[in-house]
Amino acid sequence: MQWFHESHLFLVMSIGSLFFVPFAMGFISIYWIERREPQGFAIWVFLPWLVILAGTLAAMLALWEGAICAVLFFPVAITFASLGGIIGGFSARWKRATPTRNVLVGCVLILPLLVTPVESRIFSRYEVRRVETAIDMHASPAVVWRNIKSVRAIQPDELTPSWTRRIGFPAPVEATLSHEGVGGVRHATFAGGVLFIETVDVWQPDRRLAFSIHAQTTEIPAATLDEHVRVGGEFFDVLRGEYVIENLPNGNTRLHLSSQQRVSTDFNWYVRLWTDAIMRDTQRTILRVIKNRCEAEANKTN
């Protein structure tokens, strides 16, 4: 049992689970159907999608996985399930002795179990990503600075539609500041009990604000972010944030918001597509709130 534990055999965030389990599901479902009655190629491709969809919905209903994991899992799962279905279909039509076919089926079934124990030694990577978003606004750098050094409570009607919130990523709530200057501590809170402790290490009024970020991982409820996508967890963390205020020639101001995040999985090449997109969408949400507040404040003083 110790070997199974150390190998993370049943780890969801693994190549074995994410790629080869769907492949095996697609292969087996089409293989047995095709042996009973020949099917068209479209069945080979699309029937496995229903198998994956059913399994994903069951995992969500049983609270094994959240919506974010399901969305991350589904595109690659149906792709590999279709690949498995196609190979399963051709295998079922392969005019060879039955024992050979049974060996093939057995190999497909145990493939995830063979891959998962060794994959982390080969594919596991620690990668730091940087994502930046910018927005222009009709307000002075001083007004912008007042609205970024701390962020008062965000009302629901200030939030624009966001696909990340639709799949379960929490909305920003507020960011308080203990005191001004380097060493000041911001408490950035998100819905669902998500809290980031941000320690200011760059303080340049009207120009630049930067801080290290420490997520209060143990305080994040499982109902908000499950362990596979939890910030500060084994697979993902947010490390730094930075605002840069750029004074534009036309009297407007461009506000840049960037973040650095860690991705640590056996398939960073896929996960980083999602983490970059989620961070960029979250940044846009925050920047739009700041833009609206700054322009409203600027209009009052004009």
For residue 1, what pLDDT is reported? Answer: 31
- Examine the domain organization and report whether 234 and 274 are in the same domain: yes
**Pick from 123, 151, 179: which residue ends a domain?**
123
**Pick from 66, 99, 123: which residue ends a domain?**
123
pLDDT tens-digit map of 13-34: 666 677 888 998 999 889 888 8
14 phi and psi, to 5 degrees?
Answer: -140, 155
- Examine the domain organization and report whether 105 and 135 are in the same domain: no
- Examine the domain organization and report whether 108 and 135 are in the same domain: no
What CATH number does the domain containing 160 carry?
A: 3.30.530.20
Global pTM reads 0.79
pLDDT tens-digit map of 258-285: 999 998 887 788 888 889 999 999 999 9
Q: Total structural domains in the chain?
A: 2
Give the residue numbers spanning the domain of 291.
Answer: 127-301
pLDDT tens-digit map of 111-161: 666 666 666 566 667 889 999 999 999 999 999 999 999 999 999 999 999
- Examine the domain organization and report whether 84 and 133 are in the same domain: no
Average pLDDT, the chain: 84
Q: Per-residue pLDDT for 53 more than 80?
A: yes
For residue 123, what pLDDT is reported? Answer: 61
For residue 178, what pLDDT is reported? Answer: 96
- Examine the domain organization and report whether 57 and 176 are in the same domain: no
CA distance between the termini of the chain: 71
Q: Which residues contact 116 (CB under 8 A, 6 or more apart)?
A: 7, 8, 9, 10, 11, 14, 15, 16, 17
**Pick from 123, 144, 162: which residue ends a domain?**
123
